[in-house]
Amino acid sequence: MTTITLVQGDITRQSADAIVNAANSSLLGGGGVDGAIHRRGGPAILAECRALRASHYGKGLPTGRAVATTAGDLDARWVIHTVGPVWSATEDRSGLLASCYRESLRVADELGARTVAFPAVSTGVYRWPMHDAARIAVETVRAAETGVEEVTFVLFDRQAYDTFAGQLGR
């Protein structure tokens, strides 16, 4: 069983074996969580992202996939970069959002990570409604077959925290 913990705050201040980044397929950084992780984690993360681009992901990391790098100066061993789907009102992309959580946990298992911190993937720049994103995140982590012992959702603001808490019945 994986324990699910909620924290309100900045994911770059979290300590965990692996911190998940809400990246984009370029793997070359951006705003939101991605910008914060690269700023606080330092240049070693970007250097590994560039190398991954060159070696494996010339066309970019596909949506719903995940890949790990060093965590640089963060209080973690790895950053797991995943690419969330952009919200669409006309197309159901929830399978891709679920895939972000499943693939991140699969990568965490490969690494031997026991504790993993997730942001609310796709709920910022990618505009996914928080309530629906929280449902998908919680359902997918609960259903995952993983050796990860603790998943912490790190929610930036009170409203996001309360939405996740509601999903967990807390």
Active site residues: 34
Between 6 and 36, name the residue whose CB sits nearer to ligand AR6: 36
Q: Does residue 33 touch ligand AR6 according to CB under 6 A? A: yes
CB of 1 to ligand AR6, least distance (A): 25
- How far is the C-alpha of 96 from the C-alpha of 94, rounded, in Å? 5
Structure tokens at 142: 């609960």
- Tell me how far apart the alpha carbons of residues 170 and 157 are, in angstroms, rounded to a whole number: 17
Pairing mode, strands 115-118 and 66-70: unpaired
Query: Of the candidates 42, 125, 132, 165, which one interacts with ligand AR6 according to CB under 6 A?
Result: 125
CB 138 → ligand AR6: shortest distance, Å? 15
Q: How far is the CB of 133 from ligand AR6 (least distance, A)?
A: 8
Residues near 166 by Cβ (< 8 Å), separated by ≥ 6?
A: 134
Number of other CB atoms surrounding residue 156 within 10 Å: 18
Of 6, 7, 8, 32, which one interacts with ligand AR6 (CB under 6 A)?
A: 32
Binders of ligand AR6 among 77-116, rule CB under 6 A? 84
Q: Which is nearer to ligand AR6, 27 or 113 (CB)?
A: 27
- Does residue 153 touch ligand AR6 according to CB under 6 A? no
- 124 scored as a contact of ligand AR6 (CB under 6 A): yes
Burial class (CB in 10 A: 0-12, 13-18, 19+), 20: buried
11 binds ligand AR6 (CB under 6 A): yes
Count of other CB atoms within 10 angstroms of residue 169: 6
